[in-house]
A and B are shown apart, each in its own frame.
Chain A
Amino acid sequence: QQKVQQSPESLSVPEGGMASLNCTSSDRNFQYFWWYRQHSGEGPKALMSIFSDGDKKEGRFTAHLNKASLHVSLHIRDSQPSDSALYFCAASEHWGSNAKLTFGKGTKLSVKS
């Protein structure tokens, strides 16, 4: 069973719309979460990290973490065609240098102009 599950698998939103991506962990040891974005032909690039319950906002991106339900979400407001990419949720048990990341399968986001 995958320890990090993402939904939906794919998502299409109009330009200027809101995109909402979800991630749930089945492992209560996971305490630290990231959202990564990968454009075609490139490696994943970290968008945001979130380690505490609640919301974290960076520009158009807002992440929300609920540790009790092991659920983390990413909301992209005013979506742009350049936001079209594969989005990964990643989680780690450990704080510090031995932080290995466990990834979900990803959500493919398409923003239509």
Chain B
Amino acid sequence: GPKVLQIPSHQIIDMGQMVTLNCDPVSNHLYFYWYKQILGQQMEFLVNFYNGKVMEKSKLFKDQFSVERPDGSYFTLKIQPTALEDSAVYFCASSLIWYEQYFGPGTRLTVL
């Protein structure tokens, strides 16, 4: 089936640094999402993105977070600066039809 790729699979950085998480969505998909999962807790919605714009963001999507998809390439989540509480697994998803979200395998972010 359609696959969403995420790069890297694991990232370790020092607190205060910038990090960019990359998502390669399914090629003809139009809607893009980021979710965050802290160890032992449920996956939580961060943001969704369509036609070059953020449609909705949750309270977890802090001012330090930003998303973009320049020139139809990777859909990225940038955190600048990072904080300890940003340590989590971040899942990217994409969809063509609203009720069929396809998820990537996640990027595990460790902030030291």
Contacts and interface: CB of A to CB of B under 8 A. Distances in A.
Whether A associates with B in a native complex is yes
Interface of A: 2, 4, 32, 34, 36, 41-46, 49, 88, 95-106
Interface of B: 1, 4, 6, 31, 33, 35, 41-45, 48, 50, 55-56, 58, 91, 93, 98-106
A44 B48 contact: no
A57 to B, nearest CB: 18
B45 A43 contact: no
B98 A46 contact: no
A71 to B, nearest CB: 18
Contact of A106 (B1, B42, B91): B42
B33 to A, nearest CB: 7
Contact of A43 (B55, B58, B99, B106): B106
25 contacts: A34-B99, A43-B4, A43-B6, A43-B91, A43-B103, A43-B104, A44-B91, A44-B103, A45-B102, A45-B103, A46-B101, A49-B100, A88-B42, A96-B98, A97-B55, A98-B56, A98-B98, A99-B98, A100-B45, A100-B56, A101-B35, A101-B45, A102-B44, A102-B45, A105-B42
Nearest to B104: A43
Contact of B44 (A41, A49, A103): A103
A99 B99 contact: yes
A14 B48 CA distance: 40
Nearest to B45: A100
Nearest to B31: A97
Contacts of A101: 35, 45, 101
